[in-house]
Amino acid sequence: NRALSAAEIAAIYNAGSDGKCPDVPPTIAASPQSQTVTAGDNATFSVNAAGSPPLSYQWRFNGTNINGATDTSYTVNSAQATDAGNYSVMVTNASGSATSAVATLTVLVPGTACTPAPAGLAAWWKAEGNATDSAGTNNGSLFGGAGFAAGEVGQAFSFDGSSAYVQAPDSSLWNLGTNAFTIELWANFASGTGAQTLVAHDAGSGGNNKWIFWFSSGRLGLHVNGSTGIAFILSSLFTPTLNQWYHLAVARNSTNYQFFINGAPFSTTNNNIVIPAASTPLTIGNAEGGNFFSGLMDEVSIYNRALTASQIASVYTAESFGKCALPPTILSQPQSLTVVAGSNATFGVWAVGLPPLSYQWRFNGTNIPGATNTSLTLSNVQSGAVGAYSVRVTNSIGVTNSASANLDVRYLFVYGNGQLLLGTNYSYGLSVAISMQSLFMNGSIFYTLNGSQPSFASTDYTGAFTLTNNATLRAITYSADFMQSSEAAPIYFTILPTYSLSTRTPGGGTISVSPPNGPYASNTTATVTATASNGWTFLGWQGDASGSNPMVNVTMTRNKIVQALFGTPLSKTVAGNGSVSIYPSAALYPYGTVVRFSATPQPGSYFGIWGNAASGSSNPLYFTVTNANQTVSSLFASLSAGQASLAVAPDGFGRVTINPEASVYTLGANVTLTATPDSGQTFLGWSGDASGTTNPLLITMNQSKVITAGFTRRPILTPKSLLDGPTADGFRFTLTGEFGGHYRIDVSANLAGWSQFAVITNTYGQTQLTDPAGATQGRINKGT
């Protein structure tokens, strides 16, 4: 239904046998983008679509077709508030349709009144003929010829670009760290070149800690430098028109930085740098000893949170009306006081808001004549001054009342272990020494310990006494003529039980405890630290501590004991024709471990002697590990004619005695071997060059022999030391078995039914376990 172009006809011809492609339905390659404009400005949306031609376009506003809007772009002319909303476009062809994503148009309409200051306003320099902070107490001072001129909202700071700036005192508010924040202000540039500081917390040039919000090289930016690194967090390009007001803002939420110009989001970037703290004043219009701002600046504000886009827009659209002045807000309330009769008492308040602020102090809700300052001092206070004090703060915007602060005038003082007690709840370990003092000359004191009302009929205080149990102390003092009296506030004493903490180690290191000296009050924490000696390694805790961390915290809920285990390597050397086996085989051996060295000569040789860390010729050798990094050496020698060697080694948990004991015998000699199983084990029999279960066994040395005595390897469960036995946590016991062996612990209440309690790896030959049910009921444990 149209005339094809020459190119279209040529394309059909060139396709040859491939023919014409089927029509392709539309796809959206680039959707229209959201925009923010000021009322009266134009806003243009556009779309990029693909598909078989021809493509048709229909723009929509809030889902309704816009008459005549059928091009690839659509322009809203002189946008007004009624034009704000969602815009999209439907693209169609003969094969189908596609709808773009929604683009939102925000229209900023100039305000007709001030806008409420957003929450989180920490500092606000309005520049109304002074550098007063209208949101806090960070009042600034003008330097270098800084002055005032007509601003966007009332007056503004005026800076000459060469020496003028405003300085506010240092505050923790400026140490931004990783906190969310917003800085927003109005700026009117007299120059568009160079680096011009807006606001900075800058400790000096170079690598000193700092942050600077500035305009530099055609961009807004936040420059960060210091021990945490260096960063230039920049906006997109921005070319301000000179002598025109702009509302500028930067907000950070987590690692996201967003810049705003004239109430609209301008650009966004991410940076995870920690902004360093700097002990230095905050400056407006100057940083690094230069980079002065040239022009006017107004309504400089810092927030302790990231403002939303709509909140920043509301500040911008308020234009000359600005943010509404703040009613009084109390940042620091007057505090309750306890004082000695006859002394002075001073209450204070810290309030902010639109100045001037007026103050009126009250006593029990009634105005105090002449008490109209930020503080109230009462001189020579007596019992009649006891009561509630508060202050009403007003300005032209509103009024606020402080919380009440109570004044307590004491004629009677109570001391615990020599410390003046002004509170109501105290805890002590074991006991506390109580003493009392009356401020009445020759006054008398009477008290109760059960919380009952004290009177002259109560216990007469004659001197210090000791509390060893919980008590509620109430006391009253009378003047010498009994015409005056004063009762102390009740004091609740809790006497906590105390416990001991014992430490022990077999050897190889030391244990320290912090705090070092017991006893320890109930539920306090002691830190126990194991320190290995040279050549030793900390292996783990036993008793009332567990794990392999050399520093653990022990909560004192009863008398407790902890043991630290330390281990060291053990090595061997062999000289001559033979071999030596070590049992158990381990990388580290706990202090005190008994290690068995078994020497086996090759044919024609015999074991001669042990050397280095060991001595003698007993074979096997039972070596106790007590020193670090020891080596046991062995020597084998050749047999002479008419001699035979004998090597006997246990396999399992037991020992063998040889009578007469030797490693080499004359041929034909008789030798008796006696196998002795360890406690709880069984002798299984002989193997190698002997057999059977005869015990003792008489052998004739008619040749060299290597004999093995077999024993069982049953794990043993015992409460074997001070670390074991009944505890408040359960029944604690120790499994003794193979180094590195895997064991299952089963439990039963009647020997009939068994259930699995734990599966462990016995890394160092002994493992301690606690059965929690053992604290409340009888149980039987077995290991497999």
Query: What's the number of domains the chain is made of?
Result: 8
Instruction: Report whether 717 contacts 754 (CB < 8 A).
Output: no
**Residue 426: which residues within 8 A CB-CB, separation 6 or more?**
416, 432, 491, 492, 493, 494
Last residue of a domain, one of 324, 351, 374: 324
| Cα gap 206→222, rounded to integer Å | 16
Residues 624 and 771 in one domain: no
CATH number at residue 166: 2.60.120.200
Q: Partners of 203 in the beta sheet?
A: none
∠ CA 386-392-397, rounded to 5°: 175
Amino acid at 725: G
Residues 231 and 309 in one domain: yes
Token pair recorded at residue 63: 């889902």
Distance CA 387, CA 394 (A): 23
What confidence score (pLDDT) does residue 123 get?
A: 95
Q: Could you tell me the CATH number of the domain that includes residue 456?
A: 2.60.40.10
For the CA atoms of the chain, what is the radius of gyration? Answer: 45
Are 130 and 194 found together in one domain? Answer: yes
Q: Does residue 521 share a domain with residue 435?
A: no
Predicted pLDDT at 136: 87
Domain boundary at 587, 611, 637, which?
Answer: 637
**Could you read off the pLDDT of 672-683 as tens digits, one per residue?**
999 999 999 999
The torsion region of residue 506 among left (phi > 0), alpha (psi -120 to 50) and beta comes to alpha
Q: Is residue 564 part of a domain?
A: no
* Residues β-bridged to residue 375: 348
pLDDT in tens, 381-438: 998 899 999 999 999 888 999 999 999 898 999 999 999 998 889 999 889 999 999 9
Residues 162 and 299 in one domain: yes
Q: Which residues of 630-644 are buried (b: 16+ CB within 10 A; e: fewer)?
A: bebbbbbbeeeeebb
The answer to the question of residue 432 being in a domain is yes
| 515 cis-preceded (ω within 30 degrees of 0) | yes
In a domain, 238, yes or no: yes
Question: Cα(357)–Cα(82) distance, rounded to whole angstroms?
Answer: 42
pTM listed for this prediction:
0.48
> Who contacts 200 (Cβ-Cβ below 8 Å, separation ≥6)?
210, 211, 212, 213, 214, 282, 283, 286, 287, 288
- Alpha helices by DSSP H, listed for 675-745, are none
Shared domain for 218 and 230, answered yes or no, is: yes
Q: Of 586, 583, 582, 569, nearest to 532 (Cα)?
A: 569
- Whether residue 1 is contained in a domain is answered as no
39 close to 81: Cβ distance less than 8 angstroms: yes
Residues 515 and 470 in one domain: no
Classify residue 487: in a domain, yes or no: yes
d(CA 315, CA 309): 10
Q: Does some domain include residue 350?
A: yes
- Domain assignment present for 301: yes
Residues 155 and 73 in one domain: no
Instruction: Mark whether 262 and 139 lie in a shared domain.
Output: yes
Residue where a domain stops, chosen among 74, 108, 142: 108
Report residue 13: phi and psi, to 5°: -65, -45
The answer to whether residues 197 and 282 belong to one domain is: yes
Length of the chain: 784
Q: 422: exposed, middle or buried (C-beta count within 10 Å: 0-12, 13-18, 19+)?
A: middle
What range defines the domain where residue 732 resides?
716-782
Residue spans of alpha helices (H) in 287-348: 309-317
Integer distance in angstroms from the first to the last C-alpha of the chain? 92
Same domain assignment for residues 192 and 142: yes
* Claim to verify: residue 735 and residue 682 sit in the same structural domain: no
Q: Is residue 443 part of a domain?
A: yes
Contacts of 436 (CB under 8 A, 6+ apart): 412, 413, 414, 415, 445, 447, 461, 475, 477
The residue ranges of the chain whose pLDDT is under 50 are none
